[in-house]
Amino acid sequence: MTHERSTSLRDRLRLPIGEPVDLARHDAAGTPAGPDGKEAGKAATARTGERLAVLQERLWAASTKGDRRRVLLVLQGMDTSGKGGTVKHVIGLLNPSGCRITAFKAPTAEERAHPFLWRVEQALPVRGELGIFDRSHYEDVLIARVRELAPAPEIARRYEQINRFERSLADDGMTLVKCFLHLSPDEQRRRLLKRLDKPEKRWKFAASDIDDRALWPAFQEAYEIALERCGTSYAPWYLIPADHKWYRNWAVSTLLLEHFEELDPRYPKADFDVAELRKRLLEQP
């Protein structure tokens, strides 16, 4: 079976705008519209990467003549859902010069002294770039909600603040591709055990991962609220089943490709006389 894209993957994976989200109803091990298995998936992702790299160069080229458009990929998901792996395997297919990658950690004292969107604004891609957020401003309504890192009324305000922020970005030529990597608790346990069992993976493990895991239902609820309230027409959320790494990589790369194809960036026309410059070059010693 080959992959038929009669409807776009965007349409398949986009969460319906304004509707409640019930994560339990989404199969984390699903492979909707995906290639037929791991090997086919890897091959398809590699091909997608080649097309993406061409469009990425065109977007950059267009930016040198004033095209302000840019793309921001937001990756969110529970520990081990594969945010870092997506950067490695999907973004690794692109020209690193055109990518601006930021992994958001616990905020520093300076970051906490500013509005929560401040550090995110510093990390945005400029025109022509693909920005990648490994975690994002959504942490401020996810872990911040679950661990009560801010007063409840403040967290309640943040959803609208995020929507206004993303609206401004979209109005200014930014395409947002927000991906929730949906992992099952069983698969997370397998991945955490693997980190414990392999000495060269142990450094990725933190005892706090187990504490967070105990709060799984609260995190899922926080995600459901965020996905519902901040899924908008200008910046929808995509739910990526993430139990299969090959599917996750294929789906994120394909979603990115569909967005780049819609942007359809073009190499700019020369604003100089090619024949004259050619002549000058050949006349130089």
H helix intervals, the chain: 9-13, 38-63, 83-89, 109-112, 118-122, 143-146, 152-171, 185-197, 207-214, 216-229, 245-263, 274-283
Nearest approach, Cβ of residue 167 and a copy of itself (Å): 28
Closer Cβ to a copy of itself, 77 or 236, answer by number: 77
Interface residue with a copy of itself, options 92, 110, 163, 181 (CB under 8 A):
92
- Count of Cβ atoms closer than 10 Å to residue 274 Cβ: 8
Using CA atoms, how far apart are residues 168 and 140, in angstroms rounded to an integer?
19
Using CA atoms, how far apart are residues 219 and 162, in angstroms rounded to an integer?
19
Query: What sign results for the dihedral spanned by CA atoms 152, 158, 159, 160?
Result: positive
Closer Cβ to a copy of itself, 157 or 278, answer by number: 278
Choices 73-81, 170-178, 238-246, 266-274 (CB under 8 A): range interacting with a copy of itself? 266-274
Q: x/- string (CB under 8 A) for a copy of itself, residues 130-149? A: ----x---------------
Using CA atoms, how far apart are residues 18 and 16, in angstroms rounded to an integer?
6
Q: x/- string (CB under 8 A) for a copy of itself, residues 147-176? A: ------------------------------
Binding site for a copy of itself (CB under 8 A): 61, 64-65, 84, 87-88, 91-92, 94-97, 99, 101, 103, 134, 189, 192-193, 196-197, 199-200, 202-205, 207, 210, 213-214, 267-270, 272, 274, 277-278, 280-282, 284
